[in-house]
């Protein structure tokens, strides 16, 4: 099991501002080794309760709150990450459990008992959480990410583009998943994640571009079309 605890800030940036900041960051911190020329894709299947409690709590700004998801970086791969992301204020805690492709499919089909085959206490916790609260698949979200990493304070700056989603097909491993855009293609979601405090030189770099703080999650973006909300 992997545990990540840190603070997180999220901003909305236009394409020009994002490209400018990416260029500056590339000269002072290390790019994520997975970046390539256009970044790398991330695909997440979000689960929620029968009455969409997690979605509603995000909209209402409830604190603390959580998200449950399965995540893959390559739909043709042989594993996924079952993740529980918990947020309180600016603090985030994310715990991840690798599951096989077959185990992920069983979770998608509603069989949380597959987690009982794992010895990790986190697996038992997720089994109880998903079973008692009736978690089921709600939406798949995919986007392209460009990331930069500063070793100090475990700082990570990411740029997420082309956010797309579906609420009709929950096959996380489908290479031709039917997705539709759920976010303005002329804007980028900038996320800054760090331990303790934000380094002064990273803060100074962020101040070189026009940006606005963003509170909406990608999961909410995916659900907003059917729910009728505009962000």
- Segment 169-227, tens digit of pLDDT: 999 999 999 999 999 999 999 999 998 888 899 999 999 998 888 887 899 999 875 55
For the chain, percent of residues with pLDDT exceeding 70: 97
Q: What is the pLDDT at residue 230?
A: 44
8 A C-beta contact, residue 181 and residue 198: no
Q: What is the pLDDT at residue 135?
A: 98
- Segment 82-114, tens digit of pLDDT: 999 998 877 889 999 999 999 999 999 999 999
User: pTM, whole model, 2 decimals?
Assistant: 0.92
Phi-psi map region of 134: left, alpha, beta (phi>0 left; psi -120 to 50 alpha): left
Helices 53-60 + 218-227 axis angle, to 10: 100
Question: Mean pLDDT across the stretch 130-147?
Answer: 97
Question: Mean pLDDT across the stretch 58-76?
Answer: 92
* Span between the terminal Cα atoms of the chain, in Å: 34
Pick the more confident residue, 61 or 224: 61
pLDDT at 229 over 70: no
Question: Mean pLDDT across the stretch 14-20?
Answer: 94
Question: Mean pLDDT across the stretch 19-34?
Answer: 92
Q: How far apart are CA 13 and CA 109, in angstroms?
A: 37
Report the relative pairing of strands 30-31 and 136-150 from DSSP bridges: antiparallel
Q: What is the pLDDT at residue 146?
A: 96
Query: In the block, which residue shows the tokens 């392209």?
Result: 144
pLDDT at 71 over 50: yes
pLDDT at 118 over 50: yes
Q: How many CB atoms lie within 10 A of CB 208?
A: 11
Q: What is the pLDDT at residue 197?
A: 84
């Amino acid at each position: 099991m992997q545990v990540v605890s840190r603070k997180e800030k999220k901003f909305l940036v236009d394409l020009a501002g994002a490209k400018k900041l990416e260029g500056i960051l590339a000269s002072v911190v290390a790019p994520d080794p997975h970046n390539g020329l256009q970044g790398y894709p991330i695909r997440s299947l979000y689960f929620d309760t029968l009455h969409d409690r997690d979605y509603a709590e995000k909209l209402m700004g409830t604190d603390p709150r959580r998200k449950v998801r399965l995540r893959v970086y390559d739909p043709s791969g042989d594993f996924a990450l079952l993740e529980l992301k918990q947020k309180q204020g600016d603090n985030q805690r994310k715990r991840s459990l690798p599951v096989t492709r077959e185990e992920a499919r069983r979770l998608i089909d509603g069989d949380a008992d597959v987690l009982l085959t794992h010895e990790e206490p986190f697996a038992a916790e997720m089994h109880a959480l998903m079973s008692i609260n009736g978690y089921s698949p709600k939406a798949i979200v995919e986007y392209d990410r460009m990331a930069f990493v500063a070793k100090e304070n475990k700082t990570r700056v990411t740029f997420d583009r082309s956010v797309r989603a579906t609420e009709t097909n929950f096959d996380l491993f489908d290479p031709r998943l039917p997705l539709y855009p759920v976010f303005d293609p002329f804007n980028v979601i900038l996320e800054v994640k760090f331990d303790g405090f934000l380094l002064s030189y990273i803060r100074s770099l962020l101040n070189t571009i026009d940006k606005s703080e963003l509170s909406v999650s990608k999961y909410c973006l995916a659900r907003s079309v059917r729910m009728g909300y505009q962000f």
